A and B are shown apart, each in its own frame.
Chain A
Amino acid sequence: MIYQARSWITEWVEGLGAIALLAKETFASVFQMRVTWRDLLAQVYFMGVKSQPVVIITGAFIGMVFSAQTAIQFHKVKMDTATLAAVSVAMCTELGPVLTGLMVAGRVGAAIAAEIGTMRVTEQIDALRTLATHPVDYLVAPRLMAGLLALPLLTAEATFLGISAGFGVAVFLYGIDATYLWVNMLKHTADSDVAIGLIKAVAYGGLLALVGCYKGMTCGEGAEGVGKATTEAVVYSSIGILILDFFLTLPLDAFFNGV
């Protein structure tokens, strides 16, 4: 039992160390401009444009349901007009970045791990190396950069749609006055709330891209290896996003709001 626990902890720490080394190599590749525009744009298109339906549906429906729940609760204490303010702050700081991160981790993280994992088991990564191309320059760095760029944009889109859809629900379903909703939202949503959400999104984008690439590059042999790597990429990046959310919230709030 103790031996198993020790082995599990060792493996976990080794994995973290390996991801850190991969991140170091990847950032070096990015700063030394080894990524081609073509590779970067292809990944931004895949992560950003192709994730539109998922992000639009997630953002809109989470905004609607949160608005409905808030309107019901706030009505009990005669605070109906603060509904959109609550929706807005929650969408900007938490729901927008976290849910976008989780949805994109499910779609993109899995695809990255599966694609790179398949390349590994079919010797395509070895073929890259024989063609004098560093796998980090060609496979990891463009995906990391695309993650860092696409996630904040997708988060902004999800947040905007969530607030808009929440506004619609509050006004048309619960009959709350639109002007008061709007004014209260502007009054209680600070620039720092938007900034916190976007900074979190950048971190989540980097995390899910790195975890997906790492799991793909280190996947086991055969279809089973690729399947396991894909599952682990989604699970670890989703858990990572939730853990990172907590550890980012405290310092970001302290920095922006002094709390």
Chain B
Amino acid sequence: MIEVRNLQKSFGTQKILDGVNLRIETGESVVIIGRSGGGKSVLLKHIIGLTKPDAGEVLIDGENIELMNERELLRVRSKFGMLFQGAALFDSMTVAENIAFAFRHNKEMSQDKIDCEVAEALAVVELPGIQNKKPSELSGGMRKRVGLARAIVYRPQIVLYDEPTTGLDPIVSDSIDHLILRVRDRYKVTSVVVTHDMRSARRVGQRIVMLHEKKIYVAGTSEEIFNSRDPIVRQFIEGVSDPKELDF
């Protein structure tokens, strides 16, 4: 279970998060929506301990990760897999080396077993046989799939997705959504997806949380959010800009 309590974060003088409270149950699939620059990715990075808050706490299965140093955090992070916005593949390594990275300290695993795990992870993301390619040889959608394979190969309990469909065409986005659902159902993982792609949010989110004005503005089931009559929620879902905000 993930619990975020009164989280506050500023970068310089700019406040990004101001008292965010959020609880995500084990096995739940939660989508965090909100405007660009609204702090969604920052919230995600706090959940996995990549960023330290100014105030507040994050509890993972009851453990307060804000009290941990970087080495103690490594143990907690092994429960997580994370797909980054730009995939963040190690560009000096092949696809297979990227995916097998999590096993590099596991001396009990034979190379054959690692190769099998890599092949299976690539099969899950529907990219079999590309083990020897370099990340620079892959398209944006393929990179995200390999990033997902790397995030799930060691069977984490929680998978975080940072804008998994951003920059992809609708067909590839659709396939990524299906992969997220497949991973959730196959490995019974807790999924936290940050996105501003409403189609994707509707498809993968059992619960949707909207971040607005540095706080959780609204949370509810997918149906509740998409049927909401709240003007701010409607404006975001329908993608209507405010003429007053136009400033060229």
Contacts and interface: CB of A to CB of B under 8 A. Distances in A.
Interface of A: 36, 115, 119, 122-124, 126-127, 129-134
B50 interface: yes
A99 to B, nearest CB: 30
Given A36-B104, A131-B101, A132-B102, A126 B74 contact: no
Interface of B: 45, 48, 50, 70-71, 73-75, 77-78, 80-82, 84-86, 88-92, 101-102, 104-105, 150-151
Contacts of B102: 131-132
B80 A130 contact: yes
B48 A130 contact: yes
B50 to A, nearest CB: 5
A132 B74 contact: yes
A247 B73 CA distance: 39
A130 B50 contact: yes
25 contacts: A36-B104, A115-B92, A122-B86, A122-B91, A123-B85, A124-B90, A124-B91, A126-B84, A127-B82, A127-B84, A127-B89, A127-B90, A129-B50, A129-B70, A129-B73, A130-B48, A130-B77, A130-B81, A130-B82, A131-B150, A132-B75, A132-B77, A133-B101, A134-B71, A134-B74
Given A36-B104, A126-B50, A127-B82, A133 B88 contact: no
B227 to A, nearest CB: 35
Contacts, number: 52
Given A130-B50, A130-B81, A122 B88 contact: yes
Nearest to B48: A130
A124 B91 CA distance: 9
B105 to A, nearest CB: 8
Given A130-B80, A132-B102, A123 B48 contact: no
B144 to A, nearest CB: 13
Nearest to B79: A132
A132 B151 CA distance: 11
